[in-house]
A and B are shown apart, each in its own frame.
Chain A
Amino acid sequence: MGQTLVQKILAKATGQNYVEIGDVVEPKVSLAMSHENAALVINQFKQIFDGLDNPLKVWDPSKIAIIFDHRIPAESRKTATNQKLVRQFVEEQGIEKFHDIRGDEGGICHQILPENGYVLPGGVVVGTDSHTTTHGALGTFAFGIGATEMASVWALGRVLNVEVPQTIKVIFKGKLPKGVYAKDLILNLIGKLTNQGANFKVLEFAGEVIEKMDTSGRLVISNMAVEAGATAGIIAPDAETSRYLREVANYQGEIDMVKPDDDASYHQIVEINVTDLEPQVAAPHHVDNVVKISEVEGLDIQQVVIGSCTNGRIDDLKEAYEIIKGKKVAKNTRMLVFPASYRVYNEALEKGYIAEFVKAGAVVMNPGCGPCLGIHQGALGDGERAFSTTNRNFKGRMGNPDAEVYLGSPAAAAATAIFGKITDPRKIME
């Protein structure tokens, strides 16, 4: 029997030729990523070593990445002190892939990793963040873990007790229509699978639509795989992956072009023809509550958010820019833009997107997680409604359980900002 992409990766990471679905393995980790919650990881890491003779040292400081993104610049004394503790630990342990709050190299972890070439096909990436699934877009097995599990990885360099998961293959066929983007594809899929349809399983994305899609779009799709409950959302590396790694991530080393076997065994195969797809929206309060945009068009929106680890890349900002250029944000609506990294921010500056957003009345914030999870900026008022390009619309997500969050593409968000009501972006594009 052939192997899926994930079986092959886990076989390699455990020094075997073959692993069976359901086998329990302890794969070696290629990269271990944390953000501010490294403060908790450090606490747990120290507990592991408490009273032992073993020196308090991480297994490999070149394979640990720590990126500040959730609350930057710090919103409170507590956060600032945690960030200080993490900086000290980074210094003591010689952790190399550390991105502090800086305008030259800072940003959101799920953009910093790909754009710096930290993630390579064929590897095992773990992160203390559920959207670690993002990195599957580069052909790696990437999944979210908790802080204590990360502390264990820091100590041992491997993840304990991983069951080789089943895979659901998703084939996107047809041609992407105008006004429909990667975000619409993944929302449509989550609506079909439900928010636990892929729980404990891996989604593998394939088909002509994925083959023609840039890595920036693939990252959107893999990012939200977790919203169907998936452990990971993976795409087999191809010529586009190599192009991205060489040209964007400036990575010049070897690339493992790992492919699934033709006779690999899948739990399920889902085919979606995108040719007639309309823009999609996830309505409150679940990401699988997905409707066509026409079903919610016209609802008043008080806050539009464009950015995040899902849709804050240069292509996303371009998509929004093309809708909003020369227009104004509606009077009773706030539009907040969060580029995914300072590299993206600087590119958007050079291309004139930022100036156009500001001219339209948008507020451009520093790269970071911002309002997505309601912990820092852009909280909603009672009874308010947001339209956002982020990835979750759970009750209370944007800092207020008495508010609503609708999710959609950057183009739909920009069109919505212009009218202050949920708007089909194709109306502006005509």
Chain B
Amino acid sequence: MKVIYKLGSDISTDHIYPGRYMATVLPTETPQYAFADMPDLNNLLNSGDKTQPRVIVADNNFGTGSSREQAVSTLVGHNLVIVARNFARIFFQNSINLGLKTVECPEIEAEVGDELEIGDDYLLNISTGKKYKIVPVPAARRAIVEAGGLIAYTRKLLIAEQSR
């Protein structure tokens, strides 16, 4: 997977999905506004090839701020993988729920253009040859990931409760 952009620390939900677009809620409509106040990144995403997953690398506290789920659905729509040193809680939980691939990699070093290989417990920067540990998804949340997101997981529980 190729790194297409690098961001710093404290990228807030207002960076990812500015508040003025919050009236747009449907996951099918949110991708166009990803990073709307950063025109270079917005253009890169909207004009790029979404058929292959692409990586954005960030430092600490990615997704800080609001609970707005558009900040996650907008990234899902662009088929992005977010690799960060760590994530803010609500954003992280929303990513699990909506199936956005987030990789917590506290030591990550990567540049735009680098090719990454992401395993279960490691991240290999193929371009530099360096391998990093990643923080595994907490067991509590793995069930949701494995079910294919929270909608599918909740459906499973409802069916089970109905048949009881």
* Chain A contacts to B: CB under 8 angstroms: 24, 36-37, 39-40, 43-44, 47-49, 52-54, 70-71, 75-76, 78-79, 82, 127-130, 132, 144-149, 151-152, 155-156, 160-163, 195-196, 199-200, 229, 231, 286, 373-375, 392, 394-397, 399, 401
Contacts and interface: CB of A to CB of B under 8 A. Distances in A.
Interface of B: 10, 12, 14-15, 18-20, 22-26, 37, 60-61, 64-70, 72, 86, 88-90, 93-94, 97-98, 138-141, 143-144, 149-151, 153-155, 157-159, 161-162
B143 to A, nearest CB: 7
Nearest to A196: B61
B15 A196 contact: no
A397 B14 contact: yes
Contacts, number: 155
Nearest to B98: A148
Contacts of B24: 78
B158 A48 contact: yes
A392 B65 contact: yes
Nearest to A152: B154
A163 B26 contact: no
Contact of B15 (A54, A156, A394): A394
B154 A71 contact: no
A47 B26 CA distance: 12
A48 B90 contact: no
Given A148-B150, A395-B15, A37 B68 contact: yes
B25 A52 contact: no
Given A128-B67, A129-B67, A396-B37, A195 B19 contact: no
A102 to B, nearest CB: 21
B70 to A, nearest CB: 8
Contact of A396 (B15, B70, B89, B150): B15
A70 B162 CA distance: 36
A146 B97 contact: yes
A43 B22 contact: no
Q: Which 8 A-B pairs rank lowest in CB-CB distance, beginning with the nearest?
A: A373-B19, A146-B94, A40-B25, A24-B140, A146-B69, A144-B67, A152-B154, A401-B37
